[in-house]
Amino acid sequence: MVEKRHTSTHYERELRDVKESLLYLGALVEKAIELAVKALLDRDTEIARKVICDDNTIDQLDVEIEEKCIRILALRQPTARDLRYITTAIKINGHLERIGDMAANIAEKAIILSGEPPMKPYIDIPRMAEIARAMIKESLDALVNEDTNLAQKVRVEDETIDNLNEQVFRELLTFMLEDPKNIHRSLIIMQISKSLERISDHAVGIADMVVYMVTGKSVRHAPACESQE
Amino acid sequence: MNDIKVKVKDLSLRYGTNLALKGISMDIPEKMVTAFIGPSGCGKSTFLRTLNRMNDLIDNVSIEGEVFIDNTNIYDKNIDVVNLRKKVGMIFQKSNPFAKSVYDNIAFGPRINGISNKSNLDEIVERSLQQAAIWDEVKDRLFHSALSLSGGQQQRICIARSLAVNPEIILMDEPASALDPISTAKIEELIDELKKKYTIIIVTHNMQQAARISSKTGFFYLGKLIEYNATEKIFTNPDVKQTEDYITGRFG
């Protein structure tokens, strides 16, 4: 169903501009993850440094998008779905910026590891990175198409990443127990795995906000424990 | 950065002994929308009327200070006030089309200015109604009474009427306050279009309207200009606390 356009073409443009900026930011952070993991796999410190430096661009775009949203709130007093859209955009913006920070963290760890002999081939880490990038793309597609089913799919994929993270942890534990000389590298690799796990949590955060935007219902929090009868 | 179209210097106005405007100074840029907000009785409409000397029509009004439009002080003795009011048109809160046909409403101004050739008048009428975004709605009813139109349509007829005499500045005193939300949205969209060619100055008691359509906003209170700034600044982070109190609804 094609939504009616707002009477003010100027306002319509402003709303579209926010969406386009978010999609651009999404593309930047996806690229950052790809390059950070490439830097890890190829032991390439130059690529790693580029990722760290490019995080400035991501931070600047975060501020710009936030200012655009504040401006719309101040000058347009959006209501109903426009209000949910702008508040969703502000939160998604925050999630994407944090994902950018996680990618920069991974790049920093890649630089450290490149200075030490490799411990083992990376299998689960690149897999996690690929799934995380797909989750970001899907959550933003869900935003553009207002697709709550796709948003729900992202939630399910998060479980795969959680399981892989635990798998990585268990495997690295065996390396650390085997030989204390492995501890330093293992801990750093665990931090990388944790960063990817947090990236996927942020992608779920984006997907949850899309559900809120479309339905008005907040699905962000599952109950922490069963309530006592 | 747009040029300054209207320069007001230290303007004060009295109704008899009552000092209604106190030392107002402001520079109004051309081809932008400037809005005046403030509570009832703050002087914003009085100030608007000083810009085309409509206050001259009120007894007991005295003015100090200067109003320059394009570097000419409009209160100089040798100013042709009729010509001024062509150049600086005005739209009122209650639309006031003449009790004539749509065509004759728009053609009235040009006819008084000596244009009698029918095809010239036809062209002016169509152009003005197009510019006021109402041509499609009235092109088959040009010779019906303007009073048979809806409130929103009548207001756009009044705008077309002022456009027919080629103004440079259009003053609007709460032009949409008597209209429903859809008609208001149409007028606001029209203002957004008109500002490309004309300098628009609008008084509104609807702060949200000022926020939506203007680039600069002046906040008036008890005859004084409290703050005059970019609209975005006024509504996100005004300089003066009194402005912030007013726009956040802390009226005291």
CB contact under 8 A, A74 and B192: no
Q: Which of A9, A11, A70 lies nearest to residue B236, judging by beta carbons?
A: A70
CA distance B235 to chain A (A): 6
CB contact under 8 A, A70 and B211: no
Helices (H), ranges, chain A: 9-42, 45-76, 80-114, 124-145, 148-178, 183-215
Q: How confident is the model at residue B252 (pLDDT cuts 50, 70, 90)?
A: low
Residues of chain A above pLDDT 90, percent:
84
What is the pLDDT, as a whole number, of residue A224?
A: 64
Q: Which residues pair with B90 in a beta bridge?
A: B171
pLDDT digits (tens, 9 = 90+) for B119-140: 999 999 999 999 999 999 999 9
CA distance A66 to chain B (A): 13
Q: Which of B186, B188, B231 lies nearest to residue A75, judging by beta carbons?
A: B231
B-chain CB neighbours of A8 within 8 Å are 185, 188-189, 192, 212
CB contact under 8 A, A75 and B211: yes
A-chain CB neighbours of B208 within 8 Å are 77
Q: In what order do the strands lie in the sheet with B72-73?
A: B18-29, B4-15, B61-69, B72-73
Q: Mean pLDDT across chain B, nearest whole number?
A: 95
pLDDT digits (tens, 9 = 90+) for A179-196: 999 999 999 999 999 999
For the cut 70, the answer to whether the pLDDT of residue A229 exceeds it is no
pLDDT digits (tens, 9 = 90+) for A21-74: 999 999 999 999 999 999 999 999 999 999 999 999 999 999 999 999 999 999
- Cα B8 to Cα B69: distance, rounded to the nearest angstrom: 9
Q: What is the mean pLDDT of residues B236-245?
A: 91
Note the pTM of the prediction, 2 decimals: 0.81
Q: Which of B189, B192, B235 lies nearest to residue A74, judging by beta carbons?
A: B235
CB contact under 8 A, A9 and B235: no
Q: Provide the ipTM.
A: 0.71
What is the pLDDT, as a whole number, of residue A1?
A: 44
Q: What is the mean pLDDT of residues A79-87?
A: 90
Q: What is the mean pLDDT of residues A104-117?
A: 97
Q: Which of A8, A74, A76 lies nearest to residue B185, judging by beta carbons?
A: A8
pLDDT digits (tens, 9 = 90+) for A28-42: 999 999 999 999 999
Phi, psi of A217 (to 5 degrees): -105, 140
| Chain A residues touching chain B at CB-CB below 8 Å | 7-11, 70-71, 74-77
Cβ(B170)–Cβ(B201) below 8 Å = yes
Residues of chain B above pLDDT 70, percent:
100
CB contact under 8 A, B235 and A75: yes
For the cut 90, the answer to whether the pLDDT of residue A9 exceeds it is no
- Cα B124 to Cα B148: distance, rounded to the nearest angstrom: 22
Q: What is the mean pLDDT of residues B24-50?
A: 96
**Which amino acid would we find at residue A149?**
N
- Cα B18 to Cα A228: distance, rounded to the nearest angstrom: 72
- Cα B2 to Cα B146: distance, rounded to the nearest angstrom: 37
